[in-house]
Amino acid sequence: MNIAGGIREFAVATPRATAVIDGDRTLTFGALGERSSRLGARLLERGLRTGERVGVLLGNRLEYPEIAAGIAKAGLVMVPLNPRLTPAESRYILEHSGARALVLDDALAAVAGDVDDLRLVVLSIGGSQLGPEYEAELARTTSRDPGVHVAEQDPFCIAYTSGTTGRPKGVVISHRSRALTFYLSALEWGLGPGRTSAAVAPMYHGAGFAFGYAPVFCGGTVTMLRHWDPEEFLALMARDRVQSTFLVPTHAQMLRGLGEGAVAGHDLSALDTLYFNASALPWPLKQWVMQEFPGRGIHELYGSTEAGIITNLRPVDQLTKPGSVGHAWFMTELRVVDDEGNPVGPGEPGELFSRSPFLMNGYHDNSEATAACTTEDGFLSCGDVVVRDDDGYVHIVDRKKDLIISGGVNVYPREIEDVLATHGAVTESAVVGLPHETWGEEVAAYVVLRGGATASVEELETHCRTALAGFKVPRRWTVVDTLPRNAAGKVLKRELRDRAVTTHR
C-alpha cells in the first residue's frame, strides 16, 4: 500500500474524470498523475534520497493532492506545516524533522521565514521569493513515474501535533495506516468514483488531509474550500453538487450563526452525508444539524492524529445514543482501564486505549513520548477518559489532562460544558481548572454568547445548578468573543489557563 496508489490507478482507469476542483481551476486524474510524477522526479533530480523529508506549506488548494502523491511516488516523506505558524515555529518543525526540501505557496514565504542556512531545496508556487517557481520546475523534468518502492509500514508523513502541552511532537504515519483509512472512509462515507466531496478542514492537519485526499485516492472528486466562511461553504456545496463533507463542530456553530433559513436558502439536494470530528458535538447543536439537514446521514467520529479513527456513531444511532461517539471503527479494538491499568466495567470512567492498523509508528525522535502512550501489546492512548454503556457505546468524559481536582474531588469540564450548551444564550464554552490556595483548583468557565444575547453570572450559575452538584458550578466566569483553537478546531485550554494565571498575578 502506498498513498500514491489510488492516483496511479485512476490516472489510467479514468484519466479524463475530474479529480480536483479549486474555484475555476480543475485537474483531471490524467493531469494529476502526470504532475505528481513530475514533482517526484524533480525532487529526486535536485538530490533528495529515499526516506528524506519534504516540508509542505500550503492552504487548501488544487496542488495539495498532487504534491502529496508526488512526494510519495519519490519515496519521500511529507511534513505538513500550518500556514498560521510563526517563522520560529516553522523553523522548529523543519529542523526537528530533518527536512531537506520545502514546497510552499509563495504568499506564505513570511511564515517560513529565513531558511537560507537550512540549505533546503525549495519550490515556490506563484512566485520565487524563497526558491524557483513550482511550474517552471515541473516543466524541466520528465513525466515518468519515479516508481520508488517503499514498504507499507514506511512513513508517508510526519504530522506535527498542535503543541497544546508544549513543543509539538512529530507523529510518524505509515502508508498502510492512511491507505486503509482512505478505503474504509470511502466505504463509510461515500467517497469513491462518481462522488464529489468538499475539503473544508485544512489539509495540513491530519483529519483534514485524510478526508480531503481520500476522495481522490478512491477515484472521486474533491472540491477545495480555500478558507472557512459559512456563506462560501454553502455556495460551494451548491455549485459543485457536493455529496459528502467532513466538518468540525465549530463549522456547525458558525452555520447556525447565519440565522434561520440560511441553510435552506441554498440548493443542497445533492448532499447526503455529513461527518463530524475534532471535538464534542454538543447535543443541542447536533439536534440543530439534524433539523437543518433532514434526511442526511450524520456521523460523529472520534480519533486522533496518533491513533487515526477510533470510533464512529452512525446515523441509525444518532437519536438513541445522544452524547456517544459510537462503537469501535473498522479493524479497531478498544480497552478502557483505571489508573492501575485494570479494565473497568460499563458505566465506570477509565482511560481509553485502542489497537488498530491506523496507529502511528511512533513520535519522530522521541522514544520516551512514544513509550508513555503505548503498551507492550500494541495499544495506544489518546489521553481521554471515557465511559462505555451497557451496549458498548463510548461516551467521552474528558481529556485526562483537563481533569479538575477541586478540594480532592474530580470535576470533568465536559460535563459542565454540555450543561452550558443547553442555555439559550450560550454558543459555546470552555471550562478549565485554575490554581486556588484553598481548594487546589477552582472551576472557571469561558463563555461565548450568541450575537445580541446577554446572560448574567447569576443566571448562568442558576442554570448550572439545575443539573450539576454545587462543587461543579464554575466559581469564575469570563465572557469572550471567541475561544482559542488549533487547526483541528480543538479549544486550546492551556492558553486559557495561562492567560488567566498571567492576568491574576
Judge whether 328 lies within some domain.
Answer: no
Could you report the per-residue pLDDT of 428-440, keeping only the tens digit for each?
999 999 988 777 7
Q: Is the Cβ–Cβ distance between 110 and 92 less than 8 Å?
A: no
pLDDT for position 166: 60
The residue from 157, 176, 195 where one domain ends is 176
Judge whether 308 lies within some domain.
Answer: no
Residue with cell 492537519: 205
Judge whether 340 lies within some domain.
Answer: no
For range 437-454, the mean pLDDT:
88
- Domain limits for position 167: 26-176
Could you report the per-residue pLDDT of 218-227, keeping only the tens digit for each?
999 999 999 9
The CATH number covering residue 43 comes to 3.40.50.980
Q: Is the Cβ–Cβ distance between 409 and 468 less than 8 Å?
A: no
pLDDT confidence bin for 501, thresholds 50/70/90 = low
For range 41-63, the mean pLDDT:
98
Share of residues in the chain with pLDDT > 90 (%): 80
Chain center to CA of 118: 29
User: Which burial class, exposed, middle or buried, applies to 65 when counting CB atoms under 10 A from its CB (0-12, 13-18, 19+)?
Assistant: buried
Judge whether 333 lies within some domain.
Answer: no
The residue from 176, 201, 223 where one domain ends is 176
Element containing residue 212 per DSSP (H, E): helix 206-217
pLDDT for position 168: 87
Q: What is the DSSP letter of 470?
A: G
C-alpha to C-alpha distance for 464 and 418, rounded to whole angstroms: 10
C-alpha cell at 43: 525532487
**Amino acid in the structure at residue 374:** T
Judge whether 323 lies within some domain.
Answer: no
pLDDT exceeds cutoff 60 at 504: no
| Size (the chain), residues | 505
For range 110-116, the mean pLDDT:
94
Residue 267 to residues 22, 98, 131, 237, 243, Cα–Cα distance (Å): 20, 47, 43, 8, 12
φ/ψ (deg, to 5) at 149: -80, 135
The CATH number covering residue 464 comes to 3.30.300.30
Could you report the per-residue pLDDT of 16-44, keeping only the tens digit for each?
999 999 999 999 999 999 999 999 999 99
pLDDT for position 436: 84
> 352 pairs with which residues across the strands?
336
User: Which burial class, exposed, middle or buried, applies to 503 when counting CB atoms under 10 A from its CB (0-12, 13-18, 19+)?
Assistant: exposed
pLDDT exceeds cutoff 80 at 228: yes
User: In terms of Cα–Cα distance, which of 269, 273, 209, 221 is closest to 245?
Assistant: 273
Judge whether 2 lies within some domain.
Answer: no
Share of residues in the chain with pLDDT > 70 (%): 97
Judge whether 378 lies within some domain.
Answer: no
C-alpha to C-alpha distance for 412 and 156, rounded to whole angstroms: 37
pLDDT for position 505: 43
User: Which burial class, exposed, middle or buried, applies to 122 when counting CB atoms under 10 A from its CB (0-12, 13-18, 19+)?
Assistant: buried
**Amino acid in the structure at residue 225:** L
The residue from 161, 176, 191 where one domain ends is 176
C-alpha to C-alpha distance for 350 and 400, rounded to whole angstroms: 9
Judge whether 437 lies within some domain.
Answer: yes
Total tally of structural domains belonging to the chain: 2
pLDDT for position 164: 45
